[in-house]
């Protein structure tokens, strides 16, 4: 079972909760255009725009405002150019042609440069925003005690998509919104003052009321659209994963002739995605409708606003010519004011998208922070310093004598191992693993061997009881080798050095550990030990070779205690014997999970799991 689960976890496909149940849960999530969204947006903005955030988003934002302001001024003068030609032609004075053309060229060039700069600085702003946001998410997510818990959370779909695609779209839409309304607040204040001067408070107050009315209407119609976007992105992630899985398991699917059934499930996932996409299109209808009412009616309501004081005889003392001038002056100003307001309302389509992405990213941020706090309040900071821990594990070239095992080990006292689905796998486990004494964990499939390893290394909490390190052994002395060999992206040297940088393994060390596991020939098959093969490694090696390569990594790390979860299941018997002999020679104490009889001679104690919580512990005769 554990292999399946590892793979499911890898693919982010839930092993326990049925998909329909998850879908229902997602439907009920409160992800609309609401306080939660505003809170999440505010948090993201306060982190990203902080002057302490690397990437200096704030400075690019300020530059963006300045360039947009200058561009707005250039546009203002560019709009006046036609009227200058109009005056020139009416004046019939050819001597003015040259100066007018010269001025026009200067102004228009200014406007062109302004617009180009706005686009350029906007691009820089977007790029820095994405950079800062993604790094922030990396710093929250790729942490010990957070990473695995977040990935294992059933409510947290497609974490990878949130960090890659959603963060990118968030940055892009923020830029679009800013570009459209970045200096609107300043212009709004300016035109409020101007209209106030002409018709008193009534003009700006009514314009403001008009804006508020449409802002409220927009908010009402936006909420369902935000949720639709949230759900669409979720299905987008599921659909993409399905294709990633096909790529990963392409060979297995082809060998099993699974193309048609895969096509059916891919089509089903596409159906669900298209349905969600359709819903987002439908929900855009009221949003766009409200937008359009706001823009079209905006142009005529200005006349209605000025009608109020006129009909109330406030301007009865003005001559018709003065009144015409006042109406034309006011309507130009008021129209521009309403235009500024409506351009904010018009951004509602973008706001909808922004809210969808902010909710998805915010949910991830909250989950990661919750996990970090939960761990910290439970354990303090004791074993959190990852780098220190890793350094402790690595003793390159080290060979430990029996005395150097030191005293200590791992003690399980009344530990219950219970699966997330609530199944008791091991009940009241009392076991002491001492350094220098190898333990073999056996039992039929699904009885909880890998689950025992998870509790041992702290990925799962012990439901009851306590797992403690005794003597001089510490958490950082324990090295885990999972059932599925993890081949990192990069060079051959990077494979051995992982999770340390490649530079920590010199050529001699690399050759030695490869020799130990019988993979010396790999040095001849790669261009060089430092050639970056990206993520091609699983394709370049057979499963047995992959297991040997990660074993070489273990031998290089040379920990005091290693836990091997069926780590030699794909290698032949004589290689397995050689790998265990290497561990013995280096003084590495082993806890192995395995089914093969040949393993017994390498261990002194056996923990046998029988299922339903039962177990036996016995000494192994050599
Ligand atoms: N994430 C999980 N959520 C729910 N149940 C789980 C989870 N992981 C494991 N289980 C259940 O716990 C039980 C034990 O799984 P585990 O992987 O520990 O078995 P195992 O003994 O290692 O099996 P195998 O010999 O096949 O590797 C299985 O019934 C499995 O369904």
Looking at the structure, do residues 58 and 206 belong to the same domain, yes or no? yes
DSSP 505: S
Q: Is residue 239 part of a domain?
A: yes
Distance (Å, whole) CA 584 – CA 483: 21
Point out the ligand 1 atom lying closest to the alpha carbon of residue 448.
18
Q: What's the gap between Cα 290 and its chain centre?
A: 33
Distance (Å, whole) CA 109 – CA 78: 9
Looking at the structure, do residues 13 and 80 belong to the same domain, yes or no? yes
**CATH code assigned at 450:** 3.40.50.300
SS3 label, residue 414: strand
Distance (Å, whole) CA 139 – CA 38: 23
For the stretch 143-188, pLDDT in tens is 888 888 898 887 788 898 899 999 999 999 998 888 777 778 887 8
Query: For residue 56, is pLDDT > 90?
Result: no
Structure-token match 């959190």, residue found: 384
Query: For residue 332, is pLDDT > 80?
Result: no
Return the exposure string of 8-41: e unless at least 16 CB atoms fall within 10 Å of the residue's CB, then b: ebeebebeeeeeeebeeebeeeebbbbebbeebb
Helix 348-379 to helix 320-346 angle (10° resolution) is: 40
Q: Is residue 405 part of a domain?
A: yes
> ipTM above 0.95?
yes
Q: Enumerate residues 6+ apart whose C-beta is below 8 A from 553.
A: 495, 496, 497, 498, 513
Name the CA dihedral angle for 323, 324, 330, 333, rounded to a multiple of 10 degrees.
-160
Distance 617 CA to ligand 1 centre (A): 20
Describe the strand order of the beta sheet including 614-619 as a list of residue ranges.
478-481, 561-565, 589-593, 439-442, 605-611, 614-619
For the stretch 509-522, pLDDT in tens is 999 999 999 999 99
How many distinct structural domains can be found in the chain? 2
Q: Is residue 78 part of a domain?
A: yes
Looking at the structure, do residues 260 and 403 belong to the same domain, yes or no? no
Which one of 376, 409, 433 terminates a domain?
Answer: 376
Looking at the structure, do residues 216 and 363 belong to the same domain, yes or no? yes
Looking at the structure, do residues 210 and 65 belong to the same domain, yes or no? yes
For the stretch 200-214, pLDDT in tens is 787 778 878 888 888
Residue 405 is predicted with a pLDDT of 60
Looking at the structure, do residues 423 and 298 belong to the same domain, yes or no? no
> CA separation (Å) from 37 to 285, 307, 355?
22, 40, 6
Nearest CA residue ID for atom 24, ligand 1: 445
For the stretch 229-278, pLDDT in tens is 888 888 988 898 899 888 888 777 887 788 888 898 899 999 999 999 99
**How would residue 13 be classed by pLDDT, with cut points 50, 70 and 90?**
very low
Distance 463 CA to ligand 1 centre (A): 15
Distance (Å, whole) CA 512 – CA 231: 52
Residue 18 is predicted with a pLDDT of 44
Which one of 312, 341, 376 terminates a domain?
Answer: 376
Describe the strand order of the beta sheet including 424-434 as a list of residue ranges.
424-434, 408-418, 464-471
Looking at the structure, do residues 564 and 597 belong to the same domain, yes or no? yes
Distance (Å, whole) CA 416 – CA 543: 34
Looking at the structure, do residues 87 and 144 belong to the same domain, yes or no? yes
SS3 label, residue 574: helix
**CATH code assigned at 193:** 1.20.1560.10
- Please provide the average confidence, as pLDDT, over all residues in the chain: 83
Q: Is residue 272 part of a domain?
A: yes
Residues near ligand 1 with C-beta < 6 Å?
1-3, 5, 15-16, 419-421, 423, 425, 443, 445-451
Distance (Å, whole) CA 415 – CA 461: 10
* Mutation choice for ligand 1 from 16, 427, 442, 451, CB with most ligand atoms inside 8 A: 451
Residue 622 is predicted with a pLDDT of 63
Query: For residue 560, is pLDDT > 70?
Result: yes
For residues 550 and 579, the answer to whether their CB atoms sit within 8 Å is no
Query: For residue 495, is pLDDT > 70?
Result: yes
The total number of residues written for the chain in this structure: 622
Point out the ligand 1 atom lying closest to the alpha carbon of residue 451.
18
Q: Enumerate residues 6+ apart whose C-beta is below 8 A from 351.
A: 33, 177, 218, 222
Q: Is residue 526 part of a domain?
A: no
Q: Is the dihedral of CA 30, 34, 39, 40 positive or negative?
A: positive
Q: Is residue 533 part of a domain?
A: no
SS3 label, residue 467: strand
Average pLDDT over every residue of 89-103: 86
Q: Is residue 392 part of a domain?
A: no
Nearest CA residue ID for atom 3, ligand 1: 420
Looking at the structure, do residues 402 and 366 belong to the same domain, yes or no? no
Which one of 376, 411, 439 terminates a domain?
Answer: 376
Q: How many other CB atoms sit within 10 Å of the CB of residue 421?
A: 8
Q: What are the tokens at 510?
A: 């690399």
For the stretch 381-415, pLDDT in tens is 544 444 444 444 444 445 454 455 667 899 999 99
Query: For residue 564, is pLDDT > 50?
Result: yes
Q: Is residue 595 part of a domain?
A: yes
With residue 537 as reference, give the H or E element that holds it.
helix 537-540
Query: For residue 439, is pLDDT > 60?
Result: yes
What is the span of the domain harbouring residue 603? Answer: 398-487+541-619
Looking at the structure, do residues 278 and 349 belong to the same domain, yes or no? yes
Looking at the structure, do residues 116 and 239 belong to the same domain, yes or no? yes
For residues 534 and 489, the answer to whether their CB atoms sit within 8 Å is yes
Nearest CA residue ID for atom 28, ligand 1: 446
For residues 315 and 330, the answer to whether their CB atoms sit within 8 Å is no
For the stretch 268-282, pLDDT in tens is 999 999 999 999 899
Residue 8 is predicted with a pLDDT of 38
Looking at the structure, do residues 403 and 334 belong to the same domain, yes or no? no
Distance (Å, whole) CA 490 – CA 540: 12
Q: Is the dihedral of CA 274, 275, 280, 284 positive or negative?
A: positive
């Amino acid at each position: 079972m554990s292999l399946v689960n590892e793979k499911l976890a890898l693919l982010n496909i839930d092993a326990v909760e049925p998909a329909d149940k998850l879908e229902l849960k997602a439907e009920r999530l409160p992800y609309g255009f609401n306080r939660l969204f505003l809170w999440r947006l505010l948090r993201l903005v306060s982190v990203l725009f902080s002057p302490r955030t690397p990437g200096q988003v704030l400075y690019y934002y300020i530059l963006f405002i300045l360039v947009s302001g200058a561009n707005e001024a250039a546009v203002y003068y560019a709009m006046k150019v036609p009227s200058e030609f109009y005056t020139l032609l009416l004046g019939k004075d050819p001597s003015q042609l040259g100066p007018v053309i010269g001025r026009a060229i200067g102004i228009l060039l200014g406007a062109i440069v302004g617009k180009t700069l706005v686009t350029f600085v906007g691009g820089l702003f977007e790029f820095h925003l994405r950079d800062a946001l993604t790094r922030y998410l990396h710093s929250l997510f790729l942490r010990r005690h957070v990473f695995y818990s977040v990935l294992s959370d059933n409510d947290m779909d497609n974490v990878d998509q949130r960090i890659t695609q959603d963060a990118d779209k968030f940055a892009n839409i923020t830029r679009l919104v800013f570009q459209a309304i970045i200096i609107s607040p300043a212009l709004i204040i300016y035109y409020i003052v101007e209209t106030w001067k002409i018709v008193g408070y009534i003009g700006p107050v009514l314009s403001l009321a008009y804006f508020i009315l449409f802002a409220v209407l927009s908010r009402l119609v936006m909420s369902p659209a935000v949720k639709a976007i949230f759900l669409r992105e979720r299905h987008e992630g599921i659909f993409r994963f399905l294709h990633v899985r096909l790529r990963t398991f392409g060979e297995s699917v082809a060998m099993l002739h699974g193309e048609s059934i895969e096509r059916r499930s891919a089509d089903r996932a596409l159906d669900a995605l298209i349905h969600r996409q359709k819903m987002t299109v439908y929900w855009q209808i009221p949003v766009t409708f409200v937008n359009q009412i706001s823009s079209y009616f905006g142009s005529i309501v200005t006349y209605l606003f000025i009608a109020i004081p006129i009909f109330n005889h406030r301007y009865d003392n003005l001559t018709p010519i003065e009144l015409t001038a006042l109406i034309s002056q006011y309507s130009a100003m008021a129209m521009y004011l309403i235009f500024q307001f409506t351009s904010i309302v018009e951004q509602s389509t973008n706001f909808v998208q922004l809210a969808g992405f902010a909710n998805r990213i915010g949910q991830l941020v909250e989950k990661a922070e919750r996990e970090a706090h939960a761990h910290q309040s439970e354990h303090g900071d004791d074993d959190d310093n990852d780098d220190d821990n890793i350094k402790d594990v690595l003793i390159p070239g080290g060979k430990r004598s029996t005395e150097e095992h030191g005293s200590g080990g791992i003690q399980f006292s009344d530990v219950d191992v219970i699966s997330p689905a609530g199944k008791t796998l091991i009940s009241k486990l009392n076991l002491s693993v001492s350094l220098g004494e190898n333990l073999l964990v056996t039992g039929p499939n699904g009885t909880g061997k890998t689950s025992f390893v998870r509790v041992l290394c702290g990925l799962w909490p012990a439901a009851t009881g306590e797992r403690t390190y005794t003597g001089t052994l510490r958490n950082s002395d324990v090295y885990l080798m999972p059932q599925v060999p993890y081949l990192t992206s990069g060079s051959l040297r990077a494979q051995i050095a992982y999770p340390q940088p490649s530079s920590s393994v010199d050529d001699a060390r690399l050759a030695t550990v490869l020799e130990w596991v019988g993979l010396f020939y790999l040095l001849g098959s790669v261009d060089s030990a430092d050639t970056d093969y990206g993520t091609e490694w699983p394709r370049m090696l057979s499963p047995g070779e992959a297991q040997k390569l990660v074993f070489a990594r273990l031998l290089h790390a040379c920990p005091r205690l290693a836990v091997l979860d069926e780590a030699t299941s794909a290698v032949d018997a004589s290689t397995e014997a050689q790998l265990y002999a290497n561990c013995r020679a280096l003084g590495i104490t082993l806890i192995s999970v395995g089914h093969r009889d040949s393993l017994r001679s390498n261990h002194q104690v056996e923990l046998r799991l029988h299922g339903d919580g039962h177990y036996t512990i016995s000494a192994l005769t050599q």
